A and B are shown apart, each in its own frame.
Chain A
Amino acid sequence: EVQLVESGGGLVQPGGSLRLSCATSGITFRSYWMSWVRQAPGKGLEWVANINQDGSEKNYVDSVKGRFTVSRDNAKNSLYLQMNRLRADDTAVYYCARPVGEPFWGQGTLVTVSA
């Protein structure tokens, strides 16, 4: 059974940092590009970042460039998102996903940026 479990969300003040994790099982994690996707309250889905199989290629949506860093540990079958200099408009549910091919998604973790 494919499982992607996000963790690390929570309440953080503007300007603060959080590190999200995504633990996977039931997939050949090292074979896939992986993405983070987010959804702000009452809004649509937004792709945030992706990373290739060995971590040598990374891409980001413009709004998070220079603040967020995606990484992975293939030995631990895990994906990460380091989020720095957080802003109120980063408030969202963050999903770990492989959104292409035969897609699979986690259930998401809520990040709230508020004073």
Chain B
Amino acid sequence: SYELTQPPSVSVSPGQTATITCSGDALPNQYAYWYQQKPGQAPVLVIYKDTERPSGIPERFSGSSSGTTVTLTISGVRAEDEADYYCQSPDNTNTSVTFGGGTKLTVL
């Protein structure tokens, strides 16, 4: 089955830049999506179609794609950005959707 691989954890100090990667074989052919989830809350979309930012999401959130890896970048990290982040993508047959295992972002 298709897998997306994320680092389990990333730690940064306030004001620094956090980068979270996600790797998967279908990513050259499929869009990636990124979700932020805080404890007890539903996931919130922060990036869609690799690089698009939904309305209401701060400009410090950005996405990029290169080959089999997509990256979520959070510039000027704030304490409120501490959360779990999940990448997501369809598989190459477009019959299912896969989520990465999630990355816990800790703001030191």
**Chain A residues at the B interface, C-beta cutoff of 8 Å:** 35, 37, 44-47, 50, 59, 61-62, 95, 99-103, 105-108
Other-chain residue from B42, B48, B84 in contact with A107 (beta carbon distance below 8 A)? B42
* A100 pairs with B31, CB closer than 8 A: yes
* B90 pairs with A105, CB closer than 8 A: no
* A103 pairs with B99, CB closer than 8 A: no
**Chain B residues at the A interface, C-beta cutoff of 8 Å:** 1, 31, 33, 35, 37, 42-43, 45, 48-49, 54, 84, 86, 88, 90, 95-102
**How long is the Cα–Cα vector from A61 to B99 in the complex, in angstroms?**
12
Other-chain residue from A46, A105, A106 in contact with B99 (beta carbon distance below 8 A)? A46
A-B pairs with beta carbons under 8 Å apart, 13 shown: A44-B86, A44-B99, A44-B100, A44-B101, A45-B88, A47-B97, A47-B98, A50-B96, A100-B90, A101-B49, A102-B48, A107-B42, A108-B42
Other-chain residue from B42, B90, B96 in contact with A95 (beta carbon distance below 8 A)? B42
> 8 additional contacts, CB 8 Å, given A44-B84, A99-B97?
A45-B88, A45-B99, A50-B97, A61-B96, A95-B42, A101-B48, A103-B48, A106-B42
* B35 pairs with A45, CB closer than 8 A: yes
**How long is the Cα–Cα vector from A95 to B86 in the complex, in angstroms?**
15
Name the residue of chain B whose CB is nearest to the CB of A47. Answer: B97
Return chain A residues, CB-CB under 8 Å to B45: 103, 105
* A99 pairs with B102, CB closer than 8 A: no
* B33 pairs with A45, CB closer than 8 A: no
Name the residue of chain B whose CB is nearest to the CB of A104. Answer: B45
Given known pairs A45-B86, A95-B42, A108-B42, the reply for A103 and B96 (CB within 8 Å) is no
**How long is the Cα–Cα vector from A106 to B45 in the complex, in angstroms?**
12
